[in-house]
Amino acid sequence: MYQHKDVNSNLISLPVGKAVCIGRNYLDHIDEMKSAVPSSPLLFLKPKAALCDMSEPLVVPSDKGECHNELEVSVLLQSPLTCANESAVKQAIWGIGLGLDLTLRDVQKELKQQGQPWERAKAFDNSCPLSGFVPVSEFNDLQDIHFSLTINQQLRQRGHTAMMLHQIIPMIAHMSHSFTLDAGDVVLTGTPKGVGPLVAGDSVNAQLGDVLSVSTQVVKV
């Protein structure tokens, strides 16, 4: 069963909640998907059952078409937020890590064509692998974080939080005006370009600056 951990694999004494996500937060990803820039932040949720440990094998369904990687900076909250201001958001953050928003792309395409919600493509079990978290005090500027994803030693994604359309602190404040964020919730902050299919046997490495590195492998069920 998943539990939040720090980068040294020590348990963090917070409950495991939901993941709150933003779509289309990097212009280069919007362009690669031939999507439109949303007029307001595009929010969606992943349930508790979606959260899993990124260092364990990445389990992707074998009967639902392509499953794509979407590497994102993740934010672990240590206190609840409802209609919060930016000062309250800063106080509520425990730490920063990485998350994969695993996406069943063929399923998502079909849902979009039918005008239906995306949950079946985004919120399935184990669709939110998370790294350990680094205390937020270790970061001077949340809008100056570099991260990357390699597949089989080939660079697939490279991101920099400075390129976000919606910055982390005001974005979380905005989320809290739509629904309460609880202690133990994780916020996924959007993915840059470079999404693509994961294949059984792929070797995966996710890197957060020089403070965090996670290696794993893809398996299918």
> What is the percentage of the chain residues whose pLDDT exceeds 70?
100
Q: Which superfamily, per CATH, for 19-220?
A: Fumarylacetoacetase-like, C-terminal domain (3.90.850.10)
Tens of pLDDT along 18-30? 999 999 999 999 9
Question: What pTM was estimated for this model as a whole?
Answer: 0.98
Report whether 69 contacts 205 (CB < 8 A).
no
For the chain, the structural domain boundaries read: 19-220
Tens of pLDDT along 52-67? 999 999 999 999 999 9
User: Which pLDDT band holds residue 221 (cuts at 50, 70, 90)?
Assistant: confident
Tens of pLDDT along 125-168? 999 999 999 999 999 999 999 999 999 999 999 999 999 999 99
Query: Per-residue pLDDT averaged across 98-116, rounded?
Result: 97
Pick from 208, 215, 75: which is nearest to 147 by CA?
208
What local confidence, expressed as pLDDT, does residue 86 receive? 98
The CA distance from 31 to 24, in Å, is 9
What local confidence, expressed as pLDDT, does residue 14 receive? 98
